[in-house]
Amino acid sequence: MNAAIRAVVRAGIYYKFAIVGIFSGYQGMIKGKMKKMNVRSVANIIHRGGTILQSARSEEFRTRTGRKKAIEKLKKNKIDALVAIGGDGTFRGAITLNKEYDIPIIGIPGTIDNDLFGTDATIGYDTATNTAVKAIDMIRDTALSHNRLFFIEVMGRDSGFIAMRSGIAGGAVATIIPEDDITLEELVEIINKGLKSKKSSSLVVVAEGGKLGGALQLAEKVKEKFSYFEPRVTILGHIQRGGSPTVFDRLLASRLGVAAIEALKEGKSNVMAGIKNSKIVFTPFQKSISTPKIINQEAWRIAKILSS
């Protein structure tokens, strides 16, 4: 997100806008936690994970009273347009604020889950996947040394994008994603194939929202099926959200940050800036959060072939 913040600030200044940073998301908006920003405000942040503006959930913003406080703080600071960086929660708030007060808002998709419709990739997705694959590579060393079956859980909520991509790149024997209807019996058969071919270790990548349960539940279900393997579980968790962003994420964030400012300049509002086939596109907020994003079927076909 820092690369996107940097791009918004620098592009805004380039186009003669005054830029104000709002700290702690909508909660900070309500509290008036705002600061004017210049090019020095975003120096040396493009390589840093997280966000210098920080984030926070806000139950108060869900109320009309809270949003009224927020809009009053915006007016006090002479803010007449917003760039909102985040996921579906951020965009739902933007929809409501725009509807009630008609303030122009452009969204930038910032979520590792890659679950927003209208963009091929969201900011953070590539970095999170690379982090997951590095962890999988290290876990493989242990699995080979100790002849073990590992269940590795990655993030993604109800989306299997991280799991699918890291499963292919990490050489997983199977990948479990919410979008697929694999049964326990089919998974056991896949692991059995490896056992019969004298495979010394097996890695199963599990999306946290998988229909068969998370990695812990799945390991318990499979545990009694094998005496040869000793199942182990690794939940990667929030390490996927941190770390220095990849080149791809830095470039994506930079492009979308500039696109957001140019969209405001052109009078656009209530849309998310995204990238499709390497081109900038804009999708209405409501469509971006309500339309299911379909997993790449060709990539999923390859994942199945390589694990067979």
Q: 90 with 107: CB under 8 angstroms?
A: yes
| pLDDT for the residue 211 | 84
Cβ atoms of 151 and 232 closer than 8 Å: yes
Please state, for a pLDDT cut of 70, what percent of the chain lies above it. Answer: 95
113 annotated active-site: yes
Exposure string for 123-136, b = 16+ CB within 10 A, e = fewer:
bbbbbbbbbbbbbb
Of the pLDDT bands very low, low, confident and very high (cuts 50, 70, 90), residue 145 is low
DSSP class of residue 107? Answer: E
Give the per-residue pLDDT at 4.
97
Q: What is the mean pLDDT of the chain?
A: 92
CATH class of domain segment(s) 2-124+245-290: alpha beta
pLDDT value at residue 230 = 73
DSSP string, 36-103: EE-GGGGTT-TT-SS-TT-----SGGGSHHHHHHHHHHHHHTT---EEEEESHHHHHHHHHHHHHH--
All CATH 3.40.50.450 domain ranges of the chain, comma separated, are 2-124+245-290
b/e code 18-42 from CB counts within 10 Å (16+ = b): ebbbbbbbbbbbbbebbeebeeebb
b/e map 169-199, b = 16+ CB within 10 Å: bbebbbbbbbbbebeeeebeebbeebeeeee
Q: What is the pLDDT of residue 212?
A: 87
Considering 80, 88, 102, 113, which one is annotated as catalytic?
A: 113
Whole-number pLDDT of residue 222: 86
116-136 pLDDT, tens digit per residue, is: 999 999 999 999 999 999 999
pLDDT score, position 157: 82
Mean pLDDT check: name the lowest of 86-95, 101-110, 298-307. 298-307
pLDDT digits (tens, 9 = 90+) for 165-194: 999 999 999 999 999 988 888 888 888 886
Mean pLDDT, rounded, for 135-158: 84
Quick one: pLDDT at residue 280? 98
126-241 under CATH 2.40.10.10, yes or no: no
Domain with CATH 3.40.50.460 in the chain: 126-241
CA distance 237 to 218: 17
Q: What is the value of pTM for the model shown? A: 0.91
CB of 5 within 8 A of CB of 21?
yes
Alpha-helix runs per DSSP H in the chain:
2-14, 25-31, 64-76, 88-101, 125-146, 161-169, 184-196, 215-223, 247-265, 285-290, 297-306
Per DSSP, the three-state class of 265 is: helix
pLDDT surpasses 90 at 109 = yes
Compute φ and ψ for 199, nearest 5 degrees: -65, 130
Two tokens, residue 28: 């900070």
pLDDT in tens, 38-76: 999 999 999 999 899 998 889 999 999 999 999 999 999
Local confidence band at 291 (pLDDT 50, 70, 90 cut-offs): very high
Q: What pLDDT is recorded for position 189?
A: 87
Decide: 152 and 135 in contact? Cβ < 8 Å.
yes
pLDDT tens across 187-230, in order? 888 888 866 666 656 899 999 988 888 999 998 888 877 766 67
**pLDDT for residue 279:** 97
pLDDT at position 191: 83
pLDDT of 149? 84
| Per-residue confidence band for 81, with pLDDT thresholds at 50, 70 and 90 | very high
Which residues are CB-neighbours of 198 under 8 A, at least 6 positions away?
A: none
User: What pLDDT shows up at residue 202?
Assistant: 83
The confidence score (pLDDT) of residue 197 equals 61
